[in-house]
Amino acid sequence: MLIYTMTVSADGFVEDRDGGIDWSAPSDELFEFHLDRVRGLGGHLIGRRLYETMLVWETDPSLRSSSAFTEFADAWTDLPKVVFSRSPVEVRGNARMATAPLDDEIRRMLASTDRDVEIGGADLAGQAFGLGLVDDIRVFRAPVVLGGGTSFFPPSDTMTRLALVETRTFEPDIVFEHYHVVHTAAAN
């Protein structure tokens, strides 16, 4: 299953106008949930900017300041990642640059594991969504209005139905929304 997971402002942005995400820092409870989520993944398809943001978990020893942070850093470092970028980027560890079109890389990653695979980076996930390849959407909605920035989804010409699977509230007032994408057969 391919899952798009991001923290989103109340008005639908994953980054503020300056690319900042400091408004989305998780509570301890939510961090533990993210740790369990990452432990359960078989891989991650990731855009360059998100890859560079998350790289600190692999390179910054100060982030190993607690057992939960160390466990997250280990889980993230061990997770196979495919990085998509329009410009050259150096990848490390268990990451590789995409060498095929997005749909082929998604199929390859899904075939390589019996676990769920996440896709991250709003632009990349939007492309996969447009191709009809995203199965689930998991949103962590923060109680903040950014007024602009990077949208959770790029504009689209089509409507896609979602089925609500679960909601849950985390301290401080983060609402988790889990949706299944309702895939419809193509018209003949």
Q: Which domain CATH number covers 46?
A: 3.40.430.10
Cβ–Cβ < 8 Å for 159, 119:
no
Residue in the structure block whose two tokens are 């920035």: 149
**pLDDT tens-digit readout, 46-96:** 999 999 999 999 998 898 889 999 999 999 999 999 999 999 889 999 999
Task: Report how far residue 134's alpha carbon sits from residue 117's, in angstroms, rounded to the nearest whole number.
Answer: 10
Count of structural domains, the chain = 1
What amino acid is encoded at 121 in this protein? G
Q: Peptide bond preceding 80: is omega within 30 degrees of 0, i.e. cis?
A: no
Residue 153 lies in a domain: yes
Residue 188 lies in a domain: no
> Residue 186: is its pLDDT beyond 70?
no
Task: Report how far residue 66's alpha carbon sits from residue 103's, in angstroms, rounded to the nearest whole number.
Answer: 38
**Nearest 10 degrees: CA dihedral of 11, 23, 34, 131?**
40
Q: What is the pTM of this model?
A: 0.92
> Residue 44: is its pLDDT beyond 70?
yes
Residue 146 lies in a domain: yes
- Backbone φ/ψ region at 10: left (φ over 0), alpha (ψ -120 to 50), beta: alpha
Question: For residue 87, what is the DSSP state?
Answer: S
Q: Which residues form the domain of 34?
A: 2-181
Rounded to an integer, the average pLDDT of 170-181 is: 95
Task: Report how far residue 155's alpha carbon sits from residue 79's, in angstroms, rounded to the nearest whole number.
Answer: 30
- For β-strands 41-47 and 81-84, DSSP reports them as parallel
